[in-house]
Amino acid sequence: MPGADAAATLLAQLEAFLPDALGCAGVQVRDLRRFSGGASRETWSFEAVDDRTRRRLVLRRDTPGQPRPDGMVREAQAIAAAAAAGVPEPRLIAHAGDGDALGAPFILMEHVDGETIARRILRDERFAAVRPRLAAECGRILARIHGIPLSDVPSLDDPGDPVAASVAALDDAGWASPVLELGLRWLADHRPAPSGRAVVHGDFRHGNLIVDETGIRAVLDWEIVHVGDPYEDLGWLCVKAWRFGAGKPVGGFGDYADLFAAYEAESGRPVDPDAVFWWQVAGTVRWGIGCMRQAQRHTSGAVRSVELAAIGRRVAEQEHDVLLLIGDRL
């Protein structure tokens, strides 16, 4: 968590910046606090108060001294394009690819009420009525994301072959995993035909969805948005890790049939379940490698964190899930 001096500096920067951004004078910042989690970017919430209004806002900012200006501009472009396509998004107020105003590249958005914590969405009684509808809602939203014209997000990267990328990431991690290597070999041997090129969110799952009793209120964290195969998002949503112990295959709350039917109805394109399955395996392998890399940030001494260390134990969970997925298909 940041020190008092860092928070005080940001508060002063915000109070200098907000009058122009909001079009009002004498803005005061109240209840400035940083959310826990998020190692690569900071997320702050606060109230902006003037003599007429009180607004709840959220700031996403690169860590000062570690700017990634292209990434922040790309994320802002994606949020604006998604909102125009009918994807529920917070209203984007301002963004910048430099640190002149707020010490680092940033995105400033309106606050959206709702819940992001998976165990509450999956288990609390307040969400009981909406849970059966969430898989279909995810299908419709993903179809809208994949329908965004690529020209609307001109700064998108294409990361290329996902298998080659995972092979390189596993080699770089230096962590022996015969199971993940087996998974990578299976992926190479069973590669489906590409389903097209589209805007891909890249991390569409619990934690990046704001949900209330009416449904999905906002899609968050476009940090790794890119050009890719649209089935990547469908498969990633179905990775077992994002079910958080619940039984349903889609995010713990729904069935494949509901997800696919809603996607097909919204997009007008049929879904190939086998191709989505391939991407589900790819996502499970990817997250297993991601768990390794998170743990190594702690063990290397770069970031001392019990949370990062604990993520390391989840490598074994992903290995188990890979075996369950491909065991009948070897």
CB 29 within 8 A of CB 22: no
Q: Using pLDDT thresholds of 50, 70 and 90, give the confidence band for residue 36.
A: confident
Say yes or no: 125 and 185 in one domain. yes
C-beta separation of 79 from 44 below 8 A: no
Burial class, 148, CB count within 10 angstroms (exposed 0-12 / middle 13-18 / buried 19+): buried
In this structure, the answer to whether residues 82 and 22 fall within a common structural domain is yes
- The residue from 77, 94, 110 where one domain ends is 110
Residues 40 and 144 in one domain: no
Q: Quick one: 89 and 223 in the same domain?
A: no
Residues 229 and 271: their CA atoms lie apart, in Å, by 12
- Mark which of 57, 79, 110 sits at the end of a domain: 110
Average pLDDT over residues 98-107: 95
Among residues 110, 135, 152, which one ends one of the domains? 110
Q: Tell me the residue range of the domain where 244 lies.
A: 118-329
Task: Check whether 46 has a pLDDT greater than 80.
Answer: yes
Its pTM stands at 0.93
**Per-residue pLDDT tens over the stretch 172-209:** 988 899 999 999 999 999 999 999 999 999 999 999 99
pLDDT of residue 39: 55
Residue 133 reports pLDDT greater than 70: yes
Residue 150 pLDDT level (bands cut at 50, 70, 90): very high
Same domain, 324 and 184: yes
* One domain for residues 136 and 252: yes
Residue 305 in this model has a pLDDT that exceeds 80: no
Question: Could you give the CA distance from residue 1 to residue 303 in angstroms, rounded to a whole number?
Answer: 12
User: At 106, which CATH number?
Assistant: 3.30.200.20
Co-location of 167 and 267 in the same domain:
yes
Q: Under a CB-based contact definition with an 8 Å cutoff, are residues 14 and 55 in contact?
A: no
Pair 197, 137 in one domain: yes
Helical segments of the chain, H only:
4-22, 69-84, 118-123, 131-146, 162-173, 178-189, 231-237, 256-267, 273-299, 306-311, 314-326
Number of domains in the chain: 2
Same domain, 83 and 130: no
Is 309 buried (19+), middle (13-18) or exposed (0-12) by CB count in 10 A? middle
pLDDT at 212 over 70: yes
| Residue that the structure tokens 């998002």 belong to | 233
If you average pLDDT over residues 7-15, what whole number do you get?
A: 95
**pLDDT > 70? residue 37:** no
Q: How confident is the model at residue 1 (pLDDT cuts 50, 70, 90)?
A: very low
Q: What angle do CA 297, 224, 116 make, to 5 degrees?
A: 85
- Same domain for 275 and 171: yes
pLDDT at position 302 over 80? no
CATH number at residue 141: 3.90.1200.10
Q: Is residue 11 domain-shared with residue 157, that is, in the same domain?
A: no
